[in-house]
Copies of this chain bind each other. A is one copy, B any other.
Amino acid sequence: MELSEEEIQKEMDRRRPGQGLGTSSRQEKDRVEILSGLFEGKTTGTPISLMVRNEDVDSSPYEELKEVFRPGHADFTYQAKYGIRDYRGGGRASSRETVGRVAAGAIARKILAQEKISILAYTLELGEIRADQMDLDEVERNFLRCPAPQAALEMERKVEDVKLKGDTLGGIVEILVQGCPPGLGEPVFDKLEADLAKGLMSIGAIRGVEIGAGFRVARMLGSECNDPLGPNGFEKNDSGGILGGISNGEDILIRVAVKPIPSISMEQKTVDHSGKPVTVQIRGRHDISAIPRIHSVCEAMVAIVLVDHLLRQKAIERR
């Protein structure tokens, strides 16, 4: 298929910080370069290798964190596992790592678009404020990518407020897949929701994943939870578009819990490499919430999982 750096760049730019209230003003340029897999503007079947160089990086603020385990970060566990860690920005545990996911996801999304499958992530909840309306056209209209314009305003105010205190905010993101055909998913272990859950839980800030009614099923009766079938398909969608590990043709609905960014500017208790108690204060500008930057990462991971299952299904399709 046709592919260009510009197309991928466009997805990268959506992810970029410094584009609105509440996200940091760090200027990462994030230029993607296609290293392989293209010839005269078309993919050739050769693996596509993408590179984004870290530029403009000043690691000096990290010097003083060299021997200190920042709370909520992976400093302690990387040290425990590998016996060495790149303290400048968290290394592989930094959210910078998601740049690669978004770039790869741009290609996956293009493949899905050819099959009329689209993916949209939006903010359902931020800082205890919940979207009270579901107008998807609003998503691109506000900085926090919230489908409820009034709630979006309140969220922005909350962000401002928390920013002054040097604290950070968690939230909930919903991901909506439209146009997915029935039949994707490979029981029993590679069920579609299992691979989606793995893909999303591999994103650093995510601490919970639910499909369809999700945790609400715990309080439902079977007679409420089952989606009846009618001549025009399923009559409601508490299954979230997946039954028995296989897509059923309805919209796929997933929600993820996003934890507050651990880099707060308040003083925190911790220990250093020798185990001695110290306090740590994280300098530099940081985002107040992984929302809404995490949206494009979630969309990318869902796209990658769907393309994988699409190809697996194509391989076994009856003629």
Query: A residues touching B (Cβ–Cβ < 8 Å)?
Result: 35, 39, 42, 44-46, 51, 69, 71-74, 76-78, 80-86, 91-93, 97, 125, 127-128, 162, 167-172, 182-183, 185, 187-191, 193-202, 204, 207-231, 235, 239-240, 242-249, 257-264, 266, 268-271, 275-277, 311-318
Smallest distance from the beta carbon of A188 to chain B beta carbons, Å? 6
Q: Which of A97, A239, A266 has the most CB of B within 10 A?
A: A239
> How many copies of this chain sit in the oligomeric assembly?
4
Contact between chains at B315 and A228 (CB < 8 Å): no
The docked-state distance in angstroms from the alpha carbon of A208 to that of B228 is 21
Minimum CB distance partner of A211 in chain B: B207
Minimum CB distance partner of A128 in chain B: B219
15 examples of A-B residue contacts, CB within 8 angstroms: A39-B85, A42-B84, A45-B81, A72-B239, A74-B243, A93-B245, A125-B219, A167-B222, A170-B218, A201-B211, A208-B208, A208-B214, A217-B260, A222-B262, A314-B317
Contact between chains at B201 and A197 (CB < 8 Å): yes
Smallest distance from the beta carbon of A240 to chain B beta carbons, Å? 8
Q: Which residues of B contact A76 (CB under 8 A)?
A: 182, 229, 243, 248
With A222-B169, A243-B76 known as contacts, the answer to whether A270 contacts B228 (CB < 8 A) is yes
Beyond A92-B187, A172-B218, A208-B214, 16 extra complex contacts between A and B, CB < 8 Å: A39-B91, A71-B229, A77-B244, A80-B183, A92-B188, A170-B219, A191-B201, A207-B212, A207-B217, A208-B208, A213-B259, A220-B259, A222-B262, A225-B260, A230-B277, A311-B316
Q: Which residues of B contact A316 (CB under 8 A)?
A: 45, 311
With A76-B243, A85-B44 known as contacts, the answer to whether A259 contacts B225 (CB < 8 A) is yes
Smallest distance from the beta carbon of A279 to chain B beta carbons, Å? 10
Q: Among B82, B169, B193, B228, point to the contact of A71 (Cβ < 8 A).
A: B228
Q: Among B204, B244, B260, B270, point to the contact of A204 (Cβ < 8 A).
A: B244
